[in-house]
Amino acid sequence: MLFTNTEKFNFAKDPAVVNFKGTYYLYYTIKIREKDDDGWDKIGVGIAVSKDMENWENVSEVSMDMPYEEKGIGAPAAIVLKDKVHLFYQTYGNGKLDAICHAVSDDGINFIKNSDNPVYRPTDDWCCGRAIDADVCEFNGKLFLYIATRDHEMKIQKIGGAWADIDSDFSKKSWTQLTNGSVLAPELKWEGKCIEAAATIVNNGKMFMFYGGSYNCTPQQIGCAVSDDGVFFKRVFSEPFIKCGKAGEWNSSESGHPYAFRDDDGRAYIFYQGSSDMGETWYLSKTEIIFDENNIPHLV
């Protein structure tokens, strides 16, 4: 699989995938317009479908018809709950004020926005209060939401989180912050000043978090951590789980922003973005992962 949106500047980032009623739905960030006077690209969320996870057809985009979406939206997360697709996505272009929104769909394409949007941002006593790069995972009867935020100086990117009752409406009042601090922050040399884009999956009672380490194209590569409770994580590897490619390959500038997906047959995959030209164009790909007898993930 190697996918991009050829009608939108050869740009496809931040994948999220669900199997919904026998069809795979891919939600991802698209570029709608080149940089404005303030230096911001206008981005949105595209929707593609597939029957085999290899060949994808663009079918729609998530509407941007609310005032908080005026500057753009992106970096979606998706989960199927009670025969509905729930989409969590970020506002864009608002600096420290960017936050996570929620929408729900009966068909995977047309979404009804939560009237309480944006529904989540972390408290600003331990970070700048920004929330981007949503990821959601059902664990121990709760819906865990992970986000990327920054320190007060807007230099260090790190991951925080919250939980909500799985049967809630996911409005603002539904969320309880996991901890008054980050659940994972950059420590290793290859992670630079950034850990972002949590991608969580449960295996044998433990939550695994794949993540993007280092800022885009510096290069960003994908790491892995594990938790017993969804709050306290420890790294599984000291080196990247998925590295950037060699010179000339599609991901030579980056292998980043992962998304963990378990299909209905139990097989697990990592979808991720890559660039070969320092972020001028972006593509999406995937790789299957397996867990060994010691519950350690490996690439297939």
The 10s digit of each residue's pLDDT in 242-277 is 999 999 999 999 999 999 999 999 999 999 999 999
**How would you classify residue 68: left for phi > 0, otherwise alpha for psi between -120 and 50, otherwise beta?**
alpha
Q: Which are the contacts of 293, defined by CB distance < 8 A and separation ≥ 6?
A: none
Total tally of structural domains belonging to the chain? 1
pLDDT above 90 covers a percentage of the chain that reads 97
Phi, psi (degrees; rounded to nearest 5) at 228: -85, -25
**In-domain check, residue 2:** no
Q: Is the pLDDT of residue 175 over 90?
A: yes
**In-domain check, residue 139:** yes
CATH label of the domain that carries residue 91 = 2.115.10.20
> For all residues of the chain together, what is the average pLDDT?
97
**In-domain check, residue 3:** no
Q: What is the pLDDT of residue 34?
A: 75
Pick the closest to residue 183 from 217, 137, 141 (CA basis): 137
Q: What is the pLDDT of residue 35?
A: 72
Q: Which are the contacts of 270, defined by CB distance < 8 A and separation ≥ 6?
A: 199, 210, 222, 242, 258, 259, 260, 261, 286, 287, 289
Q: What is the pLDDT of residue 251?
A: 98
Q: Which of 15-24, 38-47, 58-67, 222-231 has the lowest mean pLDDT?
A: 38-47
* DSSP notation for 9-37: TT--EEEEEEEETTEEEEEEEEEEE---T
Other C-beta atoms lying within 10 Å of the C-beta of residue 51: 11
Q: What is the pLDDT of residue 16?
A: 98
Q: What is the pLDDT of residue 146?
A: 98
Q: What is the pLDDT of residue 40?
A: 72
Q: Is the pLDDT of residue 36 over 80?
A: no
**In-domain check, residue 184:** yes
Encoded tokens for 199: 């991608």
Whether the pTM exceeds 0.75: the reply is yes
Q: Computed over its alpha carbons, how large is the radius of gyration of the chain? A: 17
Strand partners, 117: none
- Residues of the domain holding 217: 13-299
Instruction: Report how far residue 19's alpha carbon sits from residue 261's, in angstroms, rounded to the nearest whole number.
Output: 9
196-242 pLDDT, tens digit each:
999 999 999 999 999 999 999 999 999 999 999 999 999 999 999 99
Confidence tier at 66 by pLDDT (50, 70, 90): very high
Contact 114, 170 (CB under 8 A): yes
99-148 pLDDT, tens digit each:
999 999 999 999 999 999 999 999 999 999 999 999 999 999 999 999 99
| Placement of tokens 């593509």 in the chain | 283
Q: Is the pLDDT of residue 95 over 90?
A: yes
Contact 249, 242 (CB under 8 A): no
**In-domain check, residue 5:** no
Pick the closest to residue 60 from 34, 91, 25 (CA basis): 25
Q: What is the pLDDT of residue 41?
A: 78
**In-domain check, residue 21:** yes
185-199 pLDDT, tens digit each:
999 999 999 999 999
Contact 143, 136 (CB under 8 A): yes
**In-domain check, residue 8:** no
